[in-house]
Amino acid sequence: MAEGIPRELLMNTALINELVEVAKDTAVLQGFLVRIKESPNSTEEVTHAPITLFPTPVPKALFLQAIAVQTHYNTLVDKISQDPEFLQEALGSTIAVDDFTARLFKIHQQVLKRGRLQSIVLGLNRSDYMLDQEDGPSSLKQIEINTFAAASGGLASRMPDVHRHILKVAGRLEESQRIIDNNPAVGLAKAVAKAWELYGSKRNIASIRKYFEDVSESGKLDEDKRLFIDYQEVAVIYFRNGYSPQNYKSEKAWEARLMMECSLAVKCPDISTHLAGTKKVQQVLAEPGVLERFFPDQPQVVDQVRATFAGLYTLDMGEEGDKTVAMALATPDRFVLKPQREGGGNNIYGQDICELLGKVKNSAERMAYILMDKIQPVPTQNYLLRRGKPHKICNCITELGFFGAYVRQGKDMVMNNCVGYLLKTKSSEHPDGGVFAGVAVLDTALLF
């Protein structure tokens, strides 16, 4: 474990057994809790969130690179959301074959037709990376940017103290001091509060949680397009779900989304920002000259953003798409096939790429996907602690995400910050899957 926990500690069975119990107790004491699968709606039955026993070493230079580029990603997403011509150009092929993206795009068009009422924009996103070591030294390569329900900021805020205490108990004081503070929850909350303040609500901040169907039943727009839920005016809408087809269980859900998008309330994300986070937009941004559209006369910013791109390839019909198909079929282990879906567990790898592309290679159906180079991180060894699962050392790969928060009013960017990070680690035997899919666990960066 380069610049991290020495192997003799990792293999000290007696100490590891002790530290596992310390880790679980510390997580509970820190409020690092999740509900259990058997009782997902119970507030009385909880357990510690899944975590690594030790923090994972991360090169400080790459960590700082990701912080520095995050505000540029915030700006990029915001500019894309204000460019309907670009969204039409980028997503034209996708919406022709992907019904879910097409329905989202239809809402986007309806909002444009009726006119955007709210000049306040709130963005809470997370740009996710892996450290690629295929060709020489580690480099920071983006997996995706999440513009919708960028989760786990609250849990990430509690991780540093958990790992600091474990390392101190293990007698690794020097390593414990290399764990920096991390509190994305505060930064994300400040952005929400700023959007609420700019909206001009005269009430104290209060929050309510509703399903789309609830909004359809009890939501109303007044003559000024102000949104009221159960007779309470809504200043800010934060969408916790709505990023996958399963979140829209009926036409009432789609009607509720449209009503909210057409209201005066600040949306996080609004529909155009939602579309800006699609995989197809990610692929188009990697094409020559596209970043320059959003950062004219800013070559240094273009270079900073482009340096984080992995190889991204179109599957549109035509010569370029045909080349991508042939490349993927010839060497499928070099790539990841991505549909326009969020939430983890959707990507396609290895021989499954050959199986899918073999069926759709001559069909427009292939345009629902993009192809990306498979990032090649060097595994580290760690213990993954989950409720009811035995702990054993395993080879792990890590994903590093940085939270961005921005608020714009009209043409003025009122706030634009990188507010913290999220580290997720999983066994290298799993190619895909997130924390709440039961695959990855939460982690902390041990900078070196």
Establish how many alpha carbons lie within 13 A of residue 209's alpha carbon, considering only the half-sphere containing its beta carbon. 2
Give the residue carrying structure tokens 């042939």: 326
Report pLDDT digits (tens) over 274-323.
Answer: 999 999 999 999 999 999 999 999 999 999 999 999 999 999 999 999 99
pLDDT of residue 106: 98
Report pLDDT digits (tens) over 333-351.
Answer: 999 999 999 877 799 999 9
Q: How confident is the model at residue 430 (pLDDT cuts 50, 70, 90)?
A: confident
**pTM score, whole prediction:** 0.95
Phi and psi angles of residue 263, each rounded to the nearest 5 degrees, phi first? -90, 175
Q: Give the length of the chain.
A: 448
Q: How confident is the model at residue 1 (pLDDT cuts 50, 70, 90)?
A: very low
445-447/56-58 β-pairing: parallel
33-35/46-48 β-pairing: antiparallel
Judge whether residue 3 has pLDDT over 80. Answer: no
CA dist list (Å): 69 to 133, 266, 401: 20, 26, 12
pLDDT of residue 79: 98
Q: How far apart, in Å, do the first and last CA atoms of the chain sit?
A: 12
Domain parsing of the chain, residue ranges: 7-310+375-447, 311-374
The two tokens of residue 176 are 């414990």
The two tokens of residue 258 are 């449209």
Q: Which residues have CB under 8 Å from 168's CB, separation 6+?
A: 176
Report pLDDT digits (tens) over 132-184.
Answer: 997 778 999 999 999 999 999 999 999 999 999 999 999 999 999 999 999 99
369-373/312-313 β-pairing: antiparallel
311-374 maps to CATH 1.10.3470.10: no
Strand, helix or coil for residue 103: helix
DSSP state of 324: H
